[in-house]
């Protein structure tokens, strides 16, 4: 006796396993009666109002908690001008032992690229992500159709501008390189030097046009330079932090303070940050002005 016969005898009627299963009928909004449709809309509106009220209440609670925390923090701070020993501990440490520990004459560069080097790495990543997001948005905007180009006056054919830039751009580039390479000895560093070099690249684009500027920094060059600079920064600081935290000997010494080849990795890190900043500034100019590299 088969399983089918056993089930049929147990249930008292024949079971047809081969019979097609009728599709489940779902009631659409058009098939509902007016009263049912109004009731459904009323429930949806009530739920939306309830969620909106909860959202507003949570927003007010979060704002009050944040404001109270900030006000209590400010109220607990010492008054301006009052000498507080625990407030000056970090500052005294930087000023007294900064050059000894980092080898940098410029204390600001020593703090940025030694004590809080990974914070500076995060700032560089923010610039890289900003350019990547702008590039993605512009590509998505012009993916289906050619975007409308805004007509503007082309000043690249002006002979006075070209001759002026021919004399000014080398000086600006040289000054930007000086700010990068001497950032650990004098005021300057990666961000300021990179901004100067980026401005020089924009000058070249303005004076010699899109064709010349497009050959200077292509999308491939931008990705290569920024990836190499950020990778070198991350690996270099990971090595110095690991050796310092575990008391291991580092092959990268601080050198003699005041020399160009001193302060450990601060000078090459300044160059890496400067390259990222210069590519970001020039890349923004190219993409916003021409909607592409």
**Residue 31 maps to a domain:** no
Q: How many structural domains is the chain composed of?
A: 2
The verdict on 43 and 181 lying in the same domain is no
Indicate whether 203 and 268 sit together in one domain.
Answer: yes
| Domain extent for 54 | 36-73
Please give the model's pTM, rounded to 2 decimal places: 0.66
pLDDT tens readout for residues 185-226: 988 889 999 999 999 998 888 888 767 777 777 878 888 998
Alpha helices in the chain (DSSP H): 3-11, 34-76, 89-102, 107-110, 117-141, 159-181, 190-216, 219-245, 266-290
- Residues 111, 125: Cα–Cα separation, whole Å: 19
Which of 73, 90, 123 terminates a domain? The answer is 73
> Are residues 267 and 221 both part of a single domain?
yes
**167 and 60 in a common domain:** no
Residue 83 lies in a domain: no
C-beta of residue 276 within 8 angstroms of C-beta of residue 128 = yes
Same domain? For 241 and 198 the reply is yes
86 within some domain = no
Q: Name the band, by pLDDT with cuts 50, 70 and 90, for residue 35.
A: low
In a domain, 183, yes or no: yes
Q: How far is residue 78 from each of residues 82, 86, 229, measured CA to CA in Å?
A: 7, 11, 42
Question: Does residue 113 lie within any of the structural domains?
Answer: yes
Residue 206: inside a domain: yes
Is 219 within a domain?
yes
Q: 277 and 159 in one domain? A: yes
Q: Write down the mean pLDDT value for the chain.
A: 79
- Choose one of 50, 73, 96: the last residue of a domain: 73
- Average pLDDT of the residues in 277-289: 84
Domain co-membership, 52 together with 113 = no
Q: Do 44 and 124 fall into the same domain?
A: no
Highest mean pLDDT among 1-15, 42-56, 200-214, 269-283: 269-283
Overall average pLDDT of the 227-241 stretch = 89
Per the CB < 8 A criterion, the answer to whether 196 and 279 are in contact is no
Q: Do 69 and 165 fall into the same domain?
A: no
Burial 41-52 (b: 16+ CB within 10 A, else e): eeeeeeeeeeee
Given a contact cutoff of 8 angstroms between Cβ atoms, the answer to whether 107 and 94 are in contact is yes
The most confident of the ranges 34-48, 117-131, 161-175 is: 161-175
- Confirm whether 78 is domain-assigned: no
Domain C-terminal end among 57, 73, 89: 73
Question: 46 and 124: one domain?
Answer: no
62 with 166, same domain: the answer is: no
Q: Are residues 48 and 165 in the same domain?
A: no
Q: How far apart, in whole angstroms, are the C-alpha atoms of residue 284 and residue 286? A: 5
């Amino acid at each position: 006796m088969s399983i089918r016969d056993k089930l049929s005898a147990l249930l008292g009627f024949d079971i047809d396993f081969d019979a097609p299963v009728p599709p489940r009928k779902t009631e659409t909004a058009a098939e509902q009666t007016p009263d049912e449709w109004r009731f459904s809309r009323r429930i949806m509106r009530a739920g939306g109002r309830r969620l909106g009220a909860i959202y507003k209440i949570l927003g007010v609670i979060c704002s009050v908690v944040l404001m109270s925390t900030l006000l209590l923090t400010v109220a607990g701070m010492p008054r301006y001008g009052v000498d507080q020993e625990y407030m000056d501990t970090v500052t005294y440490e930087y000023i007294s032992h900064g050059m000894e520990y980092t080898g940098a004459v410029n204390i600001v560069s020593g703090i940025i690229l030694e004590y809080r080097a990974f914070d500076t790495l995060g700032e560089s990543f923010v610039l890289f992500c900003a350019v990547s997001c702008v590039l993605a948005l512009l590509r998505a905007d012009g993916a289906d159709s050619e975007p409308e180009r805004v007509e503007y006056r082309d000043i690249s054919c002006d002979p006075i501008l070209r001759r002026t830039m021919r004399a000014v751009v080398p000086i600006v580039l040289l000054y930007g390189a000086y700010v990068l390479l001497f950032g650990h000895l004098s005021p300057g560093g990666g961000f300021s030097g990179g901004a100067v070099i980026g401005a020089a690249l924009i000058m070249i684009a303005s004076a010699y046009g899109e064709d010349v500027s497009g050959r200077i920094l292509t999308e491939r060059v931008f990705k290569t330079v920024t990836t190499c600079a950020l990778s070198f920064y991350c690996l270099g600081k990971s090595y110095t932090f690991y050796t310092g935290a575990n008391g291991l000997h580092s092959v990268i010494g601080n050198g003699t303070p005041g020399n160009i080849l001193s302060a450990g990795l601060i000078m090459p890190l300044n160059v890496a940050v400067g390259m990222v900043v210069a590519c970001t500034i020039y890349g923004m100019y190219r993409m916003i002005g021409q909607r592409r590299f």
